[in-house]
A and B are shown apart, each in its own frame.
Chain A
Amino acid sequence: GESVGLHLPTLSVQEGDNSIINCAYSNSASDYFIWYKQESGKGPQFIIDIRSNMDKRQGQRVTVLLNKTVKHLSLQIAATQPGDSAVYFCAEKTGGDSSYKLIFGSGTRLLVRP
């Protein structure tokens, strides 16, 4: 079925440490995943995406890992900063670019301790 879910609702990390946010999905046919960051009072903001033909993708201080065998993906944030405090969502994109739909998980709140 269509569902994307997260393991932990809240993650608290020390500033400077690395953060890992996990996400499980149920549809083995899913082929495109995106991580979004949502700060208080704002809409979701694109962080990084990954297609199912990849296991890993890196951006600036972020890495997304995809394990298709266990239908799991994770977002790693290196050297976590106070500005990283937000709610993070994994989402699956279905449909083509012109008729896409995003299926979101319920989110993980990341709290960065000074």
Chain B
Amino acid sequence: DAGVTQSPTHLIKTRGQQVTLRCSPKSGHDTVSWYQQALGQGPQFIFQYYEEEERQRGNFPDRFSGHQFPNYSSELNVNALLLGDSALYLCASSWDREAGAFFGQGTRLTVV
């Protein structure tokens, strides 16, 4: 079991561009949550997808959007990138009562 996998691991984009990040949840998990982790900060909840629908959303602007596919994998899209969007973007899959949320290793996005 590969756990939660994210791609790419690192990405550099220019201000104003658009970016797509990808996540495959742990096998058998049907829920995907996305978090943004700025340097030196704790992760902040962006949104959660279940059954291809956005179930709940954190305090992030509409520039942040997502999608979930029938195989439960998910994409996070960010439009009109700002320097402040530079962060580690983490994906987490379904809650496990024994082991909590499984996180991927993250995608490090740098906006220049």
Interface-lining segment among A14-22, A60-68, A69-77, A89-97: A89-97
Residues 16 to 60 of chain B near chain A (Cβ within 8 Å): 31, 33, 35, 40-45, 48, 50, 55-56, 58
- Say yes or no: A98 contacts B95, CB within 8 Å: yes
How far, in angstroms, from A105 to B42 measured CA to CA in the complex?
6
The secondary-structure label for the interface of chain B is strand
* Inter-chain contacts of B41 with A (CB < 8 A): 106-107
- Say yes or no: B33 contacts A44, CB within 8 Å: no
How far does the Cβ of A39 sit from chain B's closest Cβ, in whole Å? 10
Number of interface residues of A (CB under 8 A): 25
- A114 CB within 8 Å of chain B: no
- Say yes or no: B42 contacts A98, CB within 8 Å: no
- Say yes or no: A95 contacts B56, CB within 8 Å: yes
How far does the Cβ of B102 sit from chain A's closest Cβ, in whole Å? 8
A41-54 vs B, Cβ < 8 Å mask (1 yes, 0 no): 11111100100000
- B100 CB within 8 Å of chain A: yes
How far, in angstroms, from A98 to B56 measured CA to CA in the complex?
11
- Say yes or no: B95 contacts A97, CB within 8 Å: yes
- Say yes or no: A43 contacts B42, CB within 8 Å: no
- A34 CB within 8 Å of chain B: yes
- Say yes or no: B105 contacts A43, CB within 8 Å: yes
- Say yes or no: B101 contacts A102, CB within 8 Å: yes
How far, in angstroms, from A95 to B105 measured CA to CA in the complex?
24
The residues of B with any CB-CB pair to A shorter than 8 Å are 4, 31, 33, 35, 40-45, 48, 50, 55-56, 58, 90, 92, 94-95, 97, 99-106
